[in-house]
Amino acid sequence: MKIRAVILAGGEGSRLGVLTAKRAKPAVPFAGKYRIIDFPLSNCVNSGIFDLMVLAQYRPQSLIEHVGSGAPWDLNRDFTGGVKILTPYKARNDSDWFAGTADAVQQNFSFIKRDFPDLVLILSGDHIYTMDFEPMISFHLDQRADLTMGTIHVPMSEAPRFGILGTDSKYRVTSFVEKPAAPPSNLANMGVYLFNREVLDKALWDDKRDLESSHDFGKNIIPKLLESEARIFAFPYTGYWMDVGTSQSYWQAHMDMLSPSPKLKLYNRSWIIHTRTEEYPPARIPANAHIYASQICNGCYIGADTRVESSVLSPGVVVRPGAVVRESIILTDTVIDSGAVVERAIIDKRSHIGENAHIGGGVAEADIRLALVGKNCTIPAGYVVEPEAQVGTDVIGSDIEGTVVRAGQYIQTLRQAYEV
């Protein structure tokens, strides 16, 4: 039984704000040392699947550099699979930018079907979860399915964000509606699809000829297969799964990870999340620093009399004496100067927060309102970035009118590209 996995990694991720200004959503860092795409890649190799293709499109350079030859995942193979990154290309007749998830697969299907895999596993590259695909594959074969969909029960309040399924007592899918305003159930599509290759091939070509189609798996491919009475089954998944498509869900996934009993098992040595790592020295924490329920990565330097609470400090982060960081995600090589306060904020790589600056706030509030600071920013001493404000990439003090970035504002650099 030959299985090939295809990871959809071309999404822009505009709802992640400044985090995807210069990188694709699957390349966004997660939990200090990882990238989001590490999770589907690791799920595949931990499930014994070593033949993968990654479909990239939006700002792919960071993703390409991270995946590279695939060595951290034991995917640097020539004759037994390995990983290949495919991007849109312009052919004489019909290739162009991907118009949807199904179009991305269709445009590359001549490569995907090489060597005639029996099954094609299609995965979203922007979800946080740990899943063994072997039981799903066995279920698919036992049911003689044409398509098996990974499914999970979500809170009813969140169901309108997802494709929602109906099934019979044997898990055969009887109905499917994409992002319904009034969902009939809370059984959600995870974006994990296991297809028989021939079924997928025909479905993609039929969709390509449909001029009214938006070329999307949820909106078009699955409903059309249901209409044709294809054998579609729902495989139930009960572990941790998070679609980190918004800044709030991205932040919440980190807070879930820091909870006393996290459902996301990052420390399970039998299911390692592999990644490409940079070399940093061990973290240094003085005796009089106050650290609570946080993750401190290699290379971090924590000053005296600092407070770090319920936060993730990525590699190389410096928190100088007297600074406070609460319920925040601080990405690689960012510096937070003395007296600065960072609360409910996400700060991207290589930014500098000046002395006594105040980023975010509202830790005691039930309503989550985040402050976002982009990559390579400098927030001068004493400046304030309010909750629900965004500071774009490469912003410096002269780009900010006054000393306060108000809620709802999105500040971008006024400098030309050659000046940055």
CATH classification at residue 324: 2.160.10.10
In angstroms, the CA 365 to CA 154 distance is 24
Q: Is residue 275 part of a domain?
A: no
Mean pLDDT for 146-168 is 96
User: 127: which strand partners?
Assistant: 243
Angle subtended at Cα 248 by Cα 46 and Cα 16, rounded to the nearest 5 degrees? 80
The predicted pLDDT at position 25 comes to 94
Q: Is residue 129 part of a domain?
A: yes
β-pair type (352-353, 378-379): parallel
Q: Secondary structure of 212-246 in the HEC alphabet?
A: CCCCCHHHHHHHHHHHCCCCEEEEECCCCEEECCC
What pTM value is reported for the model?
0.94
Q: Do 392 and 319 share a domain, yes or no? A: yes
Q: Do 246 and 306 share a domain, yes or no? A: no
Closest C-alpha to 234, from 171, 292, 324: 171
Q: Do 294 and 191 share a domain, yes or no? A: no
Tokens 């990654």 — which residue?
Answer: 54
Q: Do 233 and 321 share a domain, yes or no? A: no
In angstroms, the CA 136 to CA 155 distance is 23
Exposed, middle or buried, 77 (CB in 10 Å: 0-12/13-18/19+)? middle
pLDDT at 364 over 90: no
Confidence band for 94, pLDDT divided at 50, 70 and 90: low
In angstroms, the CA 122 to CA 131 distance is 14
In angstroms, the CA 276 to CA 23 distance is 16
Q: Do 245 and 163 share a domain, yes or no? A: yes
Q: Structural domain tally of the chain?
A: 2
The predicted pLDDT at position 280 comes to 96
pLDDT at 80 over 80: no
The predicted pLDDT at position 92 comes to 47
pLDDT at 89 over 70: no
Q: Do 330 and 254 share a domain, yes or no? A: no
Boundary residue ending a domain (239, 258, 277): 258
Give the residue numbers spanning the domain of 254: 3-258
Q: Do 250 and 305 share a domain, yes or no? A: no
Mean pLDDT for 374-403 is 97
Q: Structure tokens of 267? A: 């420390």
Q: Is residue 284 part of a domain?
A: no
Confidence band for 326, pLDDT divided at 50, 70 and 90: very high
